[in-house]
Amino acid sequence: MVGIMATGMVRRSVATRRTLEGPLVTSATASLVMVASAGMVASADTAAVEVIADARRFQQENNLMNYDHFFDQAIARLHDEHRHRVFANLERMAALFPRAVWHSLDGPREIVVWCSNDYLGMGQHPKVIYAMINAAIHMGTGAGGTRNIAGTNRPLVELERELADLHAKQAALVFTSGYVSNTAGLSTIAKLMPNCLILSDAYNHNSMIEGIRQSGSDKRIWRHNDVTHLEELLAAADPHRPKLIAFESLYSMDGDIAPVQRICDLANRYNAMTYCDEVHAVGMYGPRGAGVAARDGNMHRIDVIEGTLAKAFGCLGGYIAGSANLIDAVRSYAPSFIFTTALPPAVCAAATAAIRHLKASDRERERHQQRAERVKLALSAAGLPILASSSHIVPLMVGDAEKCRQASDMLLRDHGIYIQPINYPTVQKGTERLRVTPTPYHGDGLVDALVEALVDVWRQLELPLLDRTTARRDSKVWPTRSSEEMTRALAVS
């Protein structure tokens, strides 16, 4: 039946096709060819296969443009570079985090997730789950519109108050994601300052780069975390020009932390504004979870703090916090704020519950740091090449896209451990890695199992395992701690 209908569709589309200056493939034909190329024919019946063959023949005979070919080629390029991404089909288990069910081709299987950005496990915290359910029961699911039309719900207003308080700023503005908060925030702020010059750290996240690009402002890139270079660029700029320094407090791929204090000193000296992305730090650093700037006593010196509700706060959404005027201006001018539906009330209520909990509780933060330290020490002790980092992120270097992919596949298939490979363009070619993110819920048993699995995979893939003599030679890649320090730290964790 499907085949007959589809055949009819193709015939009709043939009969009614339009010819402009050149050949134009009909949408029905194009979509059938796409279906064939996507490999979906495996489950189709014979009639459908014939229809697709028919469509291809028709396309060739009539010399029609094969639109699908463009996408086929684009995907082939990714395969050639071992960059084609495959997502594991996972089902998180709230009560058993970080365990999840992997729906593999052979059926469901329990696995342990070691790469989640739900850094503190707040996505399964009873207070957060309850807040979400309660709000959904009372207020329904969607927001009902853009903020300008019908979407400013009470939980959203409360969430913004909570965020302003978290960062000790006059106001905060919530967006549908951290990505959007960066593109909207940076582009709007810079556009509203005539002749603005943006000074951007070389390792800034794609959302910041996009925001800067969309602003149309002049930009200078300073070498990653290099304040001397930043100062050179500031000194060379016209002193009367508005300047915006954009950086992250914690870089998520290397796990390194920005010299926030020195950046703020330069901002003062050269009268520049500061915009700091704290996406990988909010909830986790500082006495109330306000981030790295708060931890080091610099939060009041940052003009705009940007964060996410989707990582340590376990929900979805992003925000900026700053002066009342700045927030009002972004609210009034940013198209990606104005023309999109607001976050659902239930998501806002859950995020507020997570923020409130983490403002009052240090337990998750302390345990998180302790677990991260334990993982770093255990991996180093086994000779696994981690990048030295001063944060909770543990980058395990592979340095080869294909082997990185294979390592990830083997961990999942043979050991029930999920760590997504990080390849170009997320990181530079040759620095491919597994990005391990311990949470407070990764106990000693899971850490031991991780080390055992990684050593096995490293041996099978003939990746180098290090001894400590080699390790000390390159402090960028290998840990510099002595074995005594490691043993001591392992004993206390």
Ligand X SMILES: Cc1ncc(COP(=O)(O)O)c(C=O)c1O
Residue 443: count of CB within 10 angstroms of its CB: 11
Residue 4 one-letter amino acid: I
Number of residues interacting with ligand X: please give it, by CB under 6 A. 14
Nearest approach in angstroms of CB 183 to ligand X is: 10
CA distance between the termini of the chain:
65
Q: For residues 182 and 187, which CB has a smaller minimum distance to ligand X in the complex?
A: 182
Residue 178 engages ligand X in binding (rule: CB under 6 A) = yes
Residue 432 engages ligand X in binding (rule: CB under 6 A) = no
CA gap 164, 180 in Å, rounded: 18
Stretch of 37-45, 174-182, 209-217, 440-448 lying at the interface with ligand X (CB under 6 A): 174-182
Site map for ligand X, 75-114, x if CB under 6 A?
Answer: ----------------------------------------
Residue 437 engages ligand X in binding (rule: CB under 6 A) = no
CA gap 151, 142 in Å, rounded: 9
Binders of ligand X among residues 211 to 250 (CB under 6 A) are 248
Site map for ligand X, 381-410, x if CB under 6 A?
Answer: ------------------------------
Closest CA to 325 of 199, 177, 189: 189
Residue 177 engages ligand X in binding (rule: CB under 6 A) = yes
Catalytic machinery residues: 311
Nearest approach in angstroms of CB 308 to ligand X is: 3
Closest CA to 340 of 100, 74, 148, 87: 148
Residue 68 engages ligand X in binding (rule: CB under 6 A) = no
Residue 252 engages ligand X in binding (rule: CB under 6 A) = yes
Q: Residue 155 is encoded by which pair of tokens?
A: 């939980």
| Burial class of residue 106, CB neighbours in 10 A (0-12, 13-18, 19+) | exposed
Q: For residues 190 and 453, which CB has a smaller minimum distance to ligand X in the complex?
A: 190
Nearest approach in angstroms of CB 115 to ligand X is: 12
CA gap 382, 455 in Å, rounded: 7
CA gap 131, 350 in Å, rounded: 5
Question: Helix 345-360 and helix 154-166: axis angle, to 10°?
Answer: 30
Cβ atoms 46, 2 nearer than 8 A: no
Binders of ligand X among residues 269 to 308 (CB under 6 A) are 277, 279-280, 308
Q: What angle do CA 382, 385, 391 make, to 5 degrees?
A: 100
Residue 182 engages ligand X in binding (rule: CB under 6 A) = yes
Nearest approach in angstroms of CB 473 to ligand X is: 31
* Interface contacts to ligand X, rule CB under 6 A: 177-179, 182, 205, 207, 248, 252, 277, 279-280, 308, 310, 318
